[in-house]
Chains A and B, each alone.
Chain A
Amino acid sequence: MAETPLLSVRNLKVEFPTRRATLTAIDGISFDLKKGEVLGVVGESGAGKSITGSAIIGLLEPPGRISGGEILLGGERIDNLSQTAMRKVRGKRIGMIFQDPLTSLNPLFTIGEQITETIMTHLPVSEAEARKRAVSLLEEVGIPAAAERLDAYPHQFSGGMRQRVVIALALCAEPELVIADEPTTALDVSVQAQIIGLLKRICKDHGASVMLITHDMGVIAETCDRVAVMYSGRIAEIGPVRDVVKNPHHPYTVGLMGAIPTLVGELDRLTQIPGSMPRLDAIPKGCPFNPRCAHVFDRCRAERPDPIDVGTSRVACWLVEEGRNDRASKVEQA
């Protein structure tokens, strides 16, 4: 590959030591994020999507820790930086948008104070200049009467408006990468569409890459260039959105796509994946999906599959690797 990817995650492992055992929340994931790309990370609760985001930005909750692998931002390792050095990366080079805009804004400061503080921490500008920048950013994210609203407190905004403020805050130091963790989950459908559109447009304008973490496949399909499907702390399948949505290879992705009720077509029953995702202390040997998989065979129970290239995607599945997946997709369609 000629171009260095903006973000490169290599064989990342995250562990949570507990009194009884050490739980492996992320078990060796690797992916790249190119400049200007929007990468979706999708999975059900407990799949490790948010922990991946926290690990990249260096905000893992103790006792969680990175126990292996590396994270490179623009070719430099950031997973082993000191707290002080990481603080310069966080906010400056990587912006973060969290799920709940009410908890990610400080209720005791006006949004103007919060945005100018962030700008002045990361950029060498005067307070007046920072304020001017804050106003133009708020205008950009679609807050009406931005100059006056600068002196308002977070509780004076509605949920959608607050999330706009959070987006402005994440972008105010012109980061290269924005990690958005379930940015629209707390919002209503009609507002969700506005925020997703805004996020996509504004990151493009500012030339920032986006890592969008969500459980909503619809949001991914609308927004992302590529998508990684996570299961039990591993990437089951990663590839261009169109391929993953329209032509999934991994049985989990196939099941997941069939389980989503759609707005077109006649379907009496949804595809059903039996069981639920294993708990972290009971991840089965071999492929973690094997107890729920309809096409499981002996090798799945014994050995763990590594991701291999399948067309434009990378898939971690023995079925695909051994070329048995034709049978799988036929069964799914029947």
Chain B
Amino acid sequence: MGVDELDRATVRVSGLSRTFDVSRPWLNRVIERTPKAFLKAAQDITFSISRGETFALVGESGSGKSTVAKMVVGLLEASAGEITVDGVDMRGAQHGKEMRDLRRRMQMIFQDPYASLNPRWRVDRIIAEPIRAFRLENDEKAISKRVGELLELVRLDPRDGAKYPHEFSGGQRQRICIARALASKPEFLVCDEPTSALDVSVQAQILNLMKDLQDEFGLTYLFISHDLAVVRHMAKRIGVMYLGRLVEVADGKELFRNPRHPYTRMLLEAIPDLEMSGRPRKAVEGEIPNPINPPPGCAFHPRCPLANVRCNRELPLFKGEGETGVACHAVEEGRA
């Protein structure tokens, strides 16, 4: 990775962790003599995203993908680690003009378009909110013109602005969410499962739209999904998460051609095969363990076919070359 690439990285996340206190109330702890309980939702997450790139995080439920997304946009405070966007440290810039500017430049698209739009507001007011909040336009006429442009951008009719969210289908609502996210002219979008609530044919429309917008405005995406096929379609680089840790980061195509971490291999094995190639499928063993008491050593070892004594005891470190890498003893020792 040269200096050039370092400069191009707009989003850098290093050593990011988040711990939630999930203890019972104090009195229960005293009476039941239970200790405090902590859920480590994300631990030591490190990655960077270049300008105009799509970086995806995949993982099953409880792997911590959404926690990372929320920390990156600043909706959730990190317990440790740092996030810099365009060289600005998010923690240092919690207040003041710098943060305000940063917030304008990053926006989020949520999973559920039914829950992320205010049902009492008309669509034009929803989309105009970021414009007003950041005082991008002051004149009412200019604002409504801009809202119309944004609606057209997401292939809706400018007249739809006068309607309420309930008058739209799921796919159209997600378009409204995208229009709202684009209203502040952001450079970086965090998309948390943007199509999980949608049907396939509508999902295809939204994914195509997101790609078009990326080409048009040079947007940078952090794309969160549990669907490997969607991720493969969208992302240039992919990070695989398991129980709060990043286990593998690889180039999109390479990850599918040559998965290295045993968990990645297992995930790929598990996807139903639409091609009906009749490839033999290994049965996947076990389920995700409880994140409050994760297994010691490598969290994946109880389900891993390559696990040995070292995996039970010692946490594998993330060993990477440049922008990709894997955290696995078996891969490191050449047993994989």
Q: Which residues of A contact B (CB under 8 A)?
A: 44-45, 158-161, 188-194, 196-197, 215-219, 221-223, 241-242, 245-246, 255-256, 258-264, 267-274, 276-277
Knowing A217-B274, A222-B272, A261-B232 are in contact, say whether A273-B283 is a contact too (CB < 8 A).
Answer: no
Q: Are the CB atoms of B272 and A259 closer together than 8 Å?
A: no
- B residues 190-219 with Cβ under 8 Å of A? 199-205, 207-208, 211
CB distance from A196 to the nearest CB of B (A): 7
Contact at A259–B211, with CB atoms within 8 Å?
A: no
CB distance from B191 to the nearest CB of A (A): 15
* Interface membership of B306, Cβ < 8 A: no
| Bound: A278/B282 CA distance, A | 41
Using Cβ atoms and an 8 Å threshold, which residues of chain B touch A261? Answer: 204, 207, 227, 229-230, 232-233
> Is the beta-carbon distance between A188 and B226 smaller than 8 angstroms?
yes
Interface contact B274-A189, CB-CB below 8 Å: no
Residues of B contacting A188 in the complex (Cβ-Cβ under 8 angstroms): 60-61, 226, 287-288
CA distance A259 to B232 in the complex (A): 14
> How many CB-defined contacts (below 8 Å) exist between A and B?
122
Interface class of chain B by DSSP: helix
Q: Find A193's partner among B230, B232, B256, B272 (CB 8 Å cutoff).
A: B272
* CB proximity to A under 8 Å, residues B275-320: 275-276, 281, 283-284, 287-288
Instruction: Select the stretch in B9-17, B176-184, B263-271 that faces chain A.
Output: B263-271
Are A263 and B226 in contact, CB atoms less than 8 angstroms apart? no
The 7 A-B residue pairs with the shortest CB-CB distance in the complex, in nearest-first order: A218-B272, A259-B204, A44-B199, A261-B233, A188-B60, A270-B204, A193-B270
Q: Mark B224-248, 1 if CB is under 8 A from A, else 0.
A: 0011111011000000000000000
Give every chain B residue within 8 A of A191 (Cβ-Cβ).
284, 287
The answer on a CB contact under 8 Å between B270 and A262 is no
- Assuming the contacts A188-B61, A263-B228, A270-B207, asked whether A196 and B272 have C-beta atoms less than 8 A apart, the reply is yes
- CB of A218 within 8 A of CB of B287, answer no
Chain A residues in 8 Å Cβ range of B229: 260-263
> What CA separation (Å) do A258 and B256 show in the bound complex?
20
Q: Could you write out 29 A-B pairs with CB less than 8 Å apart?
A: A44-B202, A161-B287, A189-B271, A190-B270, A190-B288, A191-B287, A193-B270, A193-B271, A193-B283, A197-B281, A217-B200, A219-B272, A241-B276, A245-B274, A246-B276, A259-B203, A260-B200, A261-B204, A261-B233, A262-B274, A262-B275, A264-B275, A269-B211, A270-B208, A272-B201, A272-B204, A276-B170, A276-B199, A276-B202
Docked-complex contact A44 and B275, CB < 8 angstroms: no
Is B199 within 8 A of A263, CB to CB? no
Number of interface residues of B (CB under 8 A): 40
Complex CA distance for A190 and B283, rounded to whole angstroms: 9
A256 x B208 contact (CB < 8 A): no
A161 to B271, CA, bound (A): 19
Cβ of A215 and Cβ of B281 under 8 Å apart? Answer: no
CA distance A262 to B232 in the complex (A): 8
Contact between chains at A197 and B283 (CB < 8 Å): yes
Across-interface contacts of A241 in B (CB, < 8 A): 276
User: B161: which A residues are within 8 A, CB to CB?
Assistant: none
* A222 contacts B199, C-beta separation under 8 Å: no
Check: B165 CB closer than 8 A to any chain A CB.
no
Choose among B200, B211, B267 the residue with the greatest number of A CB atoms under 10 Å from its CB: B200
B276 and chain A: residue at smallest CB distance: A221
B171 located at the interface, meaning its Cβ lies under 8 Å from any Cβ of chain A in the complex: yes
| Further pairs besides A222-B272, A264-B275, A276-B199: 13, Cβ < 8 Å | A161-B287, A189-B271, A192-B270, A193-B281, A218-B274, A258-B204, A261-B227, A261-B230, A262-B274, A270-B208, A273-B201, A273-B205, A276-B172
User: Could you tell me the distance between the alpha carbons of A58 and B40 in the complex, rounded to whole angstroms?
Assistant: 46
Whether a CB of chain A sits under 8 angstroms from the CB of B169 is yes
